Amino acid sequence: MGYVRTAGMSTAARRRRRRAALVLTALVALLAAVGLYAFAYYQGWLPGDGASGSDTDQVTATATAPALQPSDVTVNVYNASGAVGVAGRTSEALASRGYSIDAVDNAPAGTEAPQVAEIRHGPAGAEGARLLSSLFPEAVVVADEREDDEVDLYIGAEFEEIEPVATDDSATATE
């Protein structure tokens, strides 16, 4: 006679079906847990790892960090345009804005003249170059290998001069 099949399914098939259901249930539960964790993290309900804090932490850190001032930047002004006196007038305008001026001269022989202006700096002068480039938005900023924090401004043929900033003393003297 043999064994009689009553349920229509073998024991091995039932085990396979049960195992597949357990694996799928575990995967769905894991996906839901990861989704809830991500949602809680982005809502700020979980503490961060220090790399990203709340908005107030970032504002406080930015407000307490000292910003680079123009007086902290030493600028060398070189005239590569061929126009007479443009380096001197530009250095006076920069000095009136608080920059420290070191050298004012024509560009060294063999220097390729930039279109508008070129701001050259080493790694130590990167912040100073960024600050100086805010005055000359069309200037090209070029990093080189110098070790000091001085910044060079090479003036090109299409350079637009900036005016010196009037101080309170000069404004009262002209009245």
CB atoms within 10 A of CB 135: 17
Same domain, 154 and 88: yes
The pLDDT assigned to 164 comes to: 87
Residue 105 domain-assigned? yes
What is the domain extent for residue 159? 70-169
Tell me if 86 sits within 8 A of 155, measured CB to CB. yes
Q: Indicate the pTM of the whole model.
A: 0.58
Q: Are residues 81 and 56 located together in one domain of the fold?
A: no
Which backbone phi and psi does 110 adopt, to 5 degrees? 90, -5
Number of domains forming the structure of the chain:
2
Instruction: State what percent of residues in the chain have pLDDT above 70.
Output: 80
Chain segment 110-154, per-residue pLDDT in tens: 888 788 899 999 999 999 999 999 998 899 999 999 999 999 999
**How do residues 154-170 score in pLDDT, each as one tens digit?**
999 899 888 888 776 54
Flag whether 153 is in a domain.
Answer: yes
Q: Answer yes or no: is 6 within a domain.
A: no
pLDDT recorded at residue 22: 95
Q: In the block, which residue shows the tokens 């009262």?
A: 172
- The model's confidence at residue 172, banded by pLDDT at 50, 70 and 90, is very low
Clarify whether residues 79 and 110 are in a common domain: yes
pLDDT score at 168: 62
pLDDT tens string 71-87: 899 999 999 988 899 99
